[in-house]
Chain A
Amino acid sequence: MSRVVTAKRGFTAWAALVFAFLYLPILVMAVFAFDKPSPEALASFKGSNACSLPPDQIGNVTVWNGFTTCWFSAGLHDPTYIPAIITSLEIAAAASIIATILGLCAALALARLRPKLRAPFDVIVYLTLVVPEIVIAVASLIFFVQFRQYFHAFPRLGKATILLGQVVFNASLAMLIIRARFVGMGDTLEEAAYDLGSGPLSTFRQVTLPRLMPALVAAALLSFTFSFDDYVLPAFTNGTTNTWPIVLYSAVRFGITPAVNALATIMLGVTVAAVVVTALILRRSRVRVGPGQEGTRGLAAAVGLG
């Protein structure tokens, strides 16, 4: 018995270490959002708001210089970061909607298609997930540039091309998540609906769609997250458009200010708050639903686990 207890303690200690490793950088990010510019920079600075110092003059902010909260307002009023975040939100929203719809259509048809017909489609889907993103990025860059030479109506490198490229990967992801749920559901309820005289469309609307909802939400959220956080593909297909990861990357390379940390901290805070609220609502609704584990499944879906 005691051996089991020791083993359990060992695992717990290891898990604690690993979680510390996972969260240490995030903690560092949040802590350094409150870091002052270096003492030398402050000494030569005449103005009142130390956070209005340009990035190349704030000195070394990878060491702790003292506490300030001014980066939060500096970040929220930043002329490059805020528009970039808005662009990223727009692209991510569009990508997740288009990808979920494409994925839903494909999943519905594929799940009950004969394996022989399904195989080629599956191969393409897995290829889109397996080919390294940098390869897709440069291939898309060449493709978009060439395409525009022959079809002038095709959009210039920018928001539209970022979106077009991202939907490929996200549609595959959405299809796999939705299909897994759809196959798991079985077809008995749909059959019952048909037997009771419901047509294909109303069966879809009243039976299939509501039951697929957790998977749809999961697919949309996951697509949104991936698209919003995606750097590599937009970095090659953006033209002159700035997305949040793109400005982040150049900040990382050419001098980051704690304003970036402040913005990232705010975003993480908003996301975590949203998830906690969702989880609480789901927990409440689970009590009302009664039997079944829809609540936890919903949480798993909200977390993005399908």
Chain B
Amino acid sequence: MARRSGRTRPFKPRYPPWLTAPSFLYYAVFFLGPMAILVGFSLATQTGFNAIRYGFDTSQYLLIAQRLYLSIFQRTLVMAFLGTLLTVAVGYPVAYWMARHLSTYKMLALLLVVVPFWTSFLIRTYALKIILDPQGYLAQNLGINIQYTKYAVGIGLVYNYLPLFILPVFASLERMDWSLIEAATDLGARPFKAFREITLRLTLPGVVTGALLVFIPMTGEYIIPNILGGGKYEFVGNLVGDQFAEAQNQPFGSALAIGLMAALSIFVIVYILVATKEERFGV
């Protein structure tokens, strides 16, 4: 508009680029630095207790290829994937209900979704353990005795990450124009078809974001398998932690950590490609 009237904007407010310098430096030292050393360690050789020699030793990576470790990688990814699916199935209807059917109490419901975050993650996980205790109500009266099993770990995953999924999906449902649904049903679409063709498609970006937001930390989960799995159902994160906290095999732990990042990135890339297929090819 400015151009058409022959008047150019005299000045566009900008902030100097050097303002990024403090955080850039900070990341360079305290994020990229540790990552670089991690790579260095993963290629180093353990020469004794807590002593290593730098080099280009790939034997740690070959060690991961053993069946025992591969099965833990597989378990971690499968559990995170199933946990994410379950979170989507449980959380989407709640977000939908909040956006579609609530008006006065919308803010309150939103608050109720967030409040669990203000209680320690550890305490909540521990409380779940109390609920699943073999001497507790569930086990004694309903016969659901699942403490220290994969089911307990799965429940823990869904429980802890559910709010993180509901929030972005709720945000995308809030932006929905519900008159589109009215138009579709007026034109004869059945409610479910209208939902699938309109609501689901329009909120897909929110679902993709939310799923990613829970899948990533689930894959790196450390606390839940420890407390609810009782050490019998370890994730890769626990394996990494053990190499540093107990076994003191830091090169192997570093290689495992890098393996975890690699597995996660492959999964995330495939996921993004699949999830955005529709947008890119317009199926």
Contacts and interface: CB of A to CB of B under 8 A. Distances in A.
Contacts of A142: 34, 37-38, 41, 250, 254
Interface string B210-253: 00000011011011000100000000010011011100001001
A62 B138 CA distance: 13
A140 B34 contact: yes
Contacts of A253: 227
Contact of B97 (A14, A108, A137): A14
Nearest to A168: B31
A93 interface: no
B180 interface: no
Interface stretch (A26-34, A39-47, A50-58, A72-80): A26-34
B261 A109 contact: no
A132 B162 contact: no
Contacts of B35: 131, 139
A176 B119 CA distance: 24
Contacts of A18: 90-91, 93-94, 162
Interface stretch (B58-66, B128-136, B200-208, B273-281): B128-136
Nearest to A272: B115
Contacts of A21: 159
Interface in A111-158: 111-113, 117, 121, 124-125, 127-128, 130-143, 146-147
Interface of chain B, helix or strand or loop or mixed?
helix
B38 A11 contact: no
B112 A19 contact: yes
Interface residues of A, number: 93
A89 interface: no
B116 A62 contact: no
Contacts of B123: 29, 248, 260-261, 264
B23 A105 contact: yes
B10 to A, nearest CB: 8
Contacts, number: 250
B264 A132 contact: yes
Nearest to B15: A108
B19 A11 contact: no
Residue of B16, B17, B30, B257 with most partner-chain A CB within 10 A: B30
Nearest to B13: A190
A25 B15 contact: no
A191 B227 CA distance: 55
Interface in A1-33: 3-4, 7-8, 11-12, 14-15, 18-19, 21-26, 28-29, 32
A169 B118 CA distance: 18
A132 B94 contact: no
Interface string B84-111: 0000001101101110110000010111
A22 B135 contact: no
Given A62-B130, A106-B19, A168 B124 contact: no
Nearest to B124: A25
Contacts of B257: 134-135, 138-139
A125 B20 CA distance: 12
B120 interface: yes
Contact of A62 (B33, B110, B136): B136
Contacts of A112: 12-15
Given A22-B159, A139-B257, A146-B37, A15 B94 contact: yes
B55 interface: no
Q: Which 4 A-B pairs have the closest CB atoms?
A: A132-B220, A25-B127, A139-B34, A109-B19
7 contacts: A22-B113, A102-B22, A134-B220, A142-B41, A194-B13, A244-B120, A245-B121
Interface of B: 9-20, 22-24, 26-27, 30-35, 37-38, 41, 90-91, 93-94, 96-98, 100-101, 107, 109-131, 133, 135-136, 159, 162-163, 167, 191, 216-217, 219-220, 222-223, 227, 237, 240-241, 243-245, 250, 253-254, 257-258, 260-261, 264, 268
Interface of A: 3-4, 7-8, 11-12, 14-15, 18-19, 21-26, 28-29, 32, 60, 62-63, 102-103, 105-106, 108-113, 117, 121, 124-125, 127-128, 130-143, 146-147, 164-165, 167-168, 171, 175, 187, 190-191, 194-195, 203, 225, 229, 231-232, 235-236, 244-245, 248-249, 252-253, 256, 260-261, 264, 267-268, 271-272, 275, 296, 299-300, 303-305
